[in-house]
Amino acid sequence: MPELKTLALFFLTALAEIAGCYLPWLWLREGKSVWLLLPGALCLAFFAWLLTLHPAAAGRVYAAYGGVYICAALLWLWAVEGIRPGVWDVVGGGVALAGMAIIMFAPRHS
C-alpha cells in the first residue's frame, strides 16, 4: 500500500500547485480580485511542503511528480474548466503515469 499513499500524496501535491497557479491566473487573465493571490500563495507553500513528505531523494520525487502533475492538470481541465480531455490527452497522461511508476517504484539496489 505504500504505492497508493505515494500516488495520493502526489495528487494532493498537484492539486495544491495547480490551485496556486490558477488563482493568480484568474486575477491576471479574468480580472478577478487581487485577493486571490493570498490563497494562491498559501497553496504554493502547501505544495512545497507536501513535496518534502516523500522519503525518496528530491530529484527522483520531482521527476516522478511531473507525471502525476500532467494527469492532475488534465483532470483539472475537465473538472474546473469544463473542457473534456481528448483521446491523445488521455494517452499522454497514461504514458506520464507509467513514467512516474517506473521512476518511483522500480526495484533499486542499496
Q: What is the DSSP string of 74-89?
A: HHHHHHTT-----HHH
Residue 37 has pLDDT above 70, yes or no: yes
DSSP one-letter string for 14-36: HHHHHHHHHHHHHHHHH---GGG
Residue 2 has pLDDT above 80, yes or no: no
Q: What mean pLDDT do residues 28-53 have?
A: 95
Q: What mean pLDDT do residues 54-83 have?
A: 89
Type of residue at 100: M
Model confidence at 28, in pLDDT bands (50, 70, 90)? very high
Shortest CA distance to 41 belongs to which of 53, 49, 51? 49
The pLDDT, as a whole number, for residue 77 is 94
Residue 51 has pLDDT above 90, yes or no: no
Distance (Å, rounded) from C-alpha 23 to C-alpha 4? 28
Q: What mean pLDDT do residues 85-106 have?
A: 93
The pLDDT, as a whole number, for residue 54 is 82
C-alpha atoms less than 13 angstroms from C-alpha of 98 in its C-beta half-sphere: 6
The pLDDT, as a whole number, for residue 22 is 96
Distance (Å, rounded) from C-alpha 20 to C-alpha 57? 24
Residue 110 has pLDDT above 70, yes or no: no
The pLDDT, as a whole number, for residue 61 is 84
Q: What mean pLDDT do residues 64-84 have?
A: 93
Cell numbers 522519503 correspond to 55
